[in-house]
A and B are shown apart, each in its own frame.
Chain A
């Protein structure tokens, strides 16, 4: 069964450093998302991406964040200058384009630890 994959599974970085989290969505999916979950808290939406551009973003997704689909398979989230509060699990998700409804398929996540 096709699945969303994410690398690395765990990333440790120092405050102020740039990190890039990588995702390979399911191959025929057209919508891509990033969510994050701070330990013990709710899953929060960051950004959605469709047709090579951001379709929606939350207030969390400020200028320090960017997303890219550099080729036909990868979808990346970049945090330009990490802060301690960026420590969280980051989940990538993808879905088919449908008019009526959809289900999102999530990857296993990348645990980001900022020290």
Chain B
């Protein structure tokens, strides 16, 4: 079973920032925090991952708590194309990804 806890759904207005939370209180020292998303009728898509420090890429930012028991995915300006299910996943090395139910993000125009 997934080792993370996420809200079932969230809503955002277009062009507003979105903060998607994830709790992972049982994270181990070797676990990386990964975020994937799945747009409707598509395969999962890698978003970002990190270990301890905050990370930025062209898609999003990842803020990791100092104790690593929680993290937040930040979409700086939500667009309609960001409407998707977002998955927070702990993984180390090349272990298989364990998907939970994720957070369904709705973006309102």
Contacts and interface: CB of A to CB of B under 8 A. Distances in A.
A56 interface: yes
B44 A106 contact: yes
Contacts of A68: none
B51 A101 contact: yes
A43 B101 contact: no
A93 B44 CA distance: 9
Interface stretch (B10-18, B66-74, B76-84, B88-96): B88-96
B29 to A, nearest CB: 12
Nearest to B43: A106
B98 interface: yes
Interface in A96-115: 97-109
B73 to A, nearest CB: 14
B104 interface: no
A42 B95 CA distance: 18
Contacts of A103: 34, 46, 49
A97 B93 CA distance: 9
B99 A33 contact: no
Contact of A91 (B43, B51, B94): B43
Contacts of B65: none
A104 B46 contact: yes
A108 B42 CA distance: 6
A50 B96 contact: no
Contacts of B44: 35, 43, 91, 93, 104, 106
Given A104-B46, A106-B43, A50 B99 contact: no
Interface pairs A-B: 6 shortest CB-CB? A106-B43, A45-B96, A43-B99, A103-B46, A101-B32, A91-B43
